[in-house]
Amino acid sequence: MTAGELRLHLGCGVDVVPGWVNIDRSPNVLIGRVPGLRRTLAAARVLTPDQAGARFPAKIVRADVNRGLAYPDASVAFIYSSHLIEHLSRWQALALVRECGRVLRPGGVVRFACPDLAVLTKAYLERKDGDEDVRRRAADLFMEELGTFEERWGNPIQRLSWRVFSAAPHQWLYDADSLIELLRRGALTGAGQRRYREGEVPDLDRLERRPESVFVEATR
């Protein structure tokens, strides 16, 4: 990394990549900083087993991208975000893209990865052409894969904890064309689709883990 080169990893989750400012808003970031708190909440059945097993590394900046990016204009070289933007409403996503444009330096690159609506739709249509048992489940599987609603089981406290500690359901999904258009509307230039772990953003071999996604890059 060039000296003084700032790289932002938005919505990092548990994937902390050296050389990047790894940012996530999850309350799990705070829980991980208090020794024994996760174990105590799990024993009290406030956390489900999956939540109790989550391990957020210490080197995460806790921040909500919906409140903007706390960096000066034209100060960032690269921005990477995987499977975050689909959790935002359309207007929130556009606001985030514009914020990325504000903090990127001239020639800086932003890369978004998210579920590919085209892939999900193709899978649904293929199931509808399958046998009767597959056809019956096609719509339900499609809705589950869209992730726009997540039904949670458990006691009332556990259901509340899912809303607090888990990512929000998907709000808006994209194919390559619609994601490119979003970046263009956000005043970024040269927006185009990229392949898995191929593009101008560095460290993609460490950043990217979901090859089935759609990937789009743009510059300021």
Per-residue pLDDT reduced to its tens digit, 112-130 = 999 999 999 999 999 999 9
CATH of domain 7-116+171-219: 3.40.50.150
Alpha-carbon separation of residue 158 from 34, 179, 211 (angstroms): 20, 35, 32
Yes or no: say if 31 and 38 are a contact pair by the CB < 8 Å rule. yes
Q: pLDDT averaged over the chain?
A: 89
pLDDT at 29: 76
pLDDT at 1: 46
Under DSSP, the state recorded for 31 is: H
163's enclosing H/E stretch is helix 156-165
Token pair of 8 as six digits = 């932002």
- For tokens 């609506």, the residue is 117
Segment 162-167 shows an average pLDDT of 62
Yes or no: say if 88 and 170 are a contact pair by the CB < 8 Å rule. no
Segment 161-168 shows an average pLDDT of 64
State yes or no: pLDDT of 73 exceeds 60: yes
Token pair of 43 as six digits = 């024993």
d(CA 200, CA 114): 17
Segment 99-119 shows an average pLDDT of 98
Alpha-carbon separation of residue 175 from 52, 119, 122, 180, 182 (angstroms): 34, 8, 12, 9, 11
